[in-house]
């Protein structure tokens, strides 16, 4: 079986104190839609371009901690890709941070990375 570590990519991470505007800039510069939020080396949230759009629409400013999703759905390097795909489908999300047993972020897997598997 194919496992997550064979398709995951490097994740750019930010801190909860990062400004929303800075997160938006990072997404533009790196061409990414999802950024795991890390505090003291551990995963504490995730912010997506969707969250940024919502913050702009509501004219909310400040740190990403005020708009990030705290209840993060994540995966592990040795989890089968089918399980990861199901987590995304069932939760209507398109990326999962990949963490170790201590919740340190090792990478990220996105629905784009999974569709490449099928296209190959």
Asked if residue 113 binds ligand SAM (CB under 6 A), the reply is: no
Give, as ranges, the residues between 68 and 87 that touch ligand SAM (CB under 6 A). 69, 72-73
Nearest to 113 by CA among 100, 98, 97, 95: 95
Residues in the chain: 120
3-state secondary structure of 113: helix
Site string for ligand SAM, 2-41 (x = CB under 6 A): ----------------------------------------
* Burial of residue 81 (number of CB atoms within 10 Å: 0-12, 13-18, 19+): buried
Which one of the spans 1-9, 11-19, 76-84, 94-102 is the region binding ligand SAM (CB under 6 A)? 94-102
The residue ranges that bind ligand SAM (CB under 6 A) are: 46, 48, 50-51, 69, 72-73, 92-96
């Amino acid at each position: 079986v194919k496992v997550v570590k064979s398709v995951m990519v490097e994740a750019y991470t930010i801190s909860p104190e990062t400004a929303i505007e800075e997160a938006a800039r990072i997404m533009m510069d790196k061409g990414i839609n999802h950024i795991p939020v890390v505090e003291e080396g551990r995963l504490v949230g995730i912010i997506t371009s969707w969250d940024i759009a919502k913050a702009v629409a509501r004219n909310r400013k400040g740190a990403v901690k005020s708009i990030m999703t705290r209840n993060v759905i994540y995966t592990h390097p040795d989890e089968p890709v089918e399980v990861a795909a199901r987590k995304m489908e069932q939760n209507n999300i398109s990326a999962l941070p990949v963490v170790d047993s201590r919740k340190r972020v090792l990478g990220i897997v996105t629905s784009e990375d999974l569709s490449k598997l099928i296209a190959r």
